[in-house]
Amino acid sequence: MKSEKTGVTLIGVGGIGSNLLGSIAPAISSGPLVESLGGISLRVMDSDTVEARNLLMGQRFRQSDVGKKKVDAIRDAVVDFEGGLLDVISIPKDVRSPADIPDSDIVIVCVDNMDARRVVHRMEAPWLDLRCSGDGYIAIDHRVDRGVLATLTEGQNGHGSCQLEGWESGFVQSGYIAAAAHGYQWLIAALRQMDGIASSTLPNPRSSSVTFGILGNLALEGVV
């Protein structure tokens, strides 16, 4: 067992991040894997406040959360899973430089901000970048070819919604859930790899749609 908890940082708890955290918290709160890793210290970062419209957009908040910081509201929602093996730490701030991110073993970014994504992409720790558009999502991680990564990141605006116009009613929620499901599987597999389980395999970086299925896998670094 590790002497210190394994550090996981989740950046952004909007449509994707709130659904991911709500589903992953029970899974990383107990069990042999979490025990072997010394427990999990889950840091949640987002500067936004819950608005009424967030509830209609598939974000996992309650009416009583409106006006609260998102990180505080989502922590309150999973507080029952905290204990000796899981700490959930809310950090109400944005990521604009490497110094903004706590020392982490794994980082997942789910925020619609290219500056934050670029910071994460430069990290040495395993990372996952989840983005959603309509009922589809794209999952990029530390294994993706740097040339492909550049085409998906460079020249993009610093901030803004990645949603397609007209998809807000009904469809976008399924895209958030699909992206969160990928993130769930990826994080569990990454933790298993960290624990030395050689048979654990990360899901492929990909573009996928609830309606049309997997649209394509992204090229990996060093793989021809």
Query: What mean pLDDT do residues 164-172 have?
Result: 57
DSSP 33-50: HHHHTT-EEEEEE---B-
> Does 41 fall in a domain?
yes
Boundaries of domain holding 66: 6-217
Q: What is the C-alpha R_g of the chain?
A: 17
pLDDT at 192: 97
Domain containing residue 49: CATH number: 3.40.50.720
> Does 1 fall in a domain?
no
Residue 7 phi/psi, 5° resolution?
Answer: -95, 120
**116: closest CA among 156, 68, 176?**
156
> Does 107 fall in a domain?
yes
> Does 52 fall in a domain?
yes
> Does 222 fall in a domain?
no
Specify the number of domains making up the chain: 1
Residue 159 corresponds to which amino acid? H
> Does 37 fall in a domain?
yes
pLDDT at 164: 46
**119: closest CA among 149, 90, 99, 148?**
99
Query: What mean pLDDT do residues 26-45 have?
Result: 97
Cα–Cα dist 73/90, whole Å: 9
Cα–Cα dist 125/10, whole Å: 13
Which tens digits make up the pLDDT trace of 98-147?
A: 999 999 999 999 998 999 999 999 999 999 999 998 889 999 999 999 99
The whole-model pTM stands at 0.92
> Does 224 fall in a domain?
no
Percent of the chain with pLDDT over 70: 91
Contacts of 184 (CB under 8 A, 6+ apart): 20, 23, 24, 27
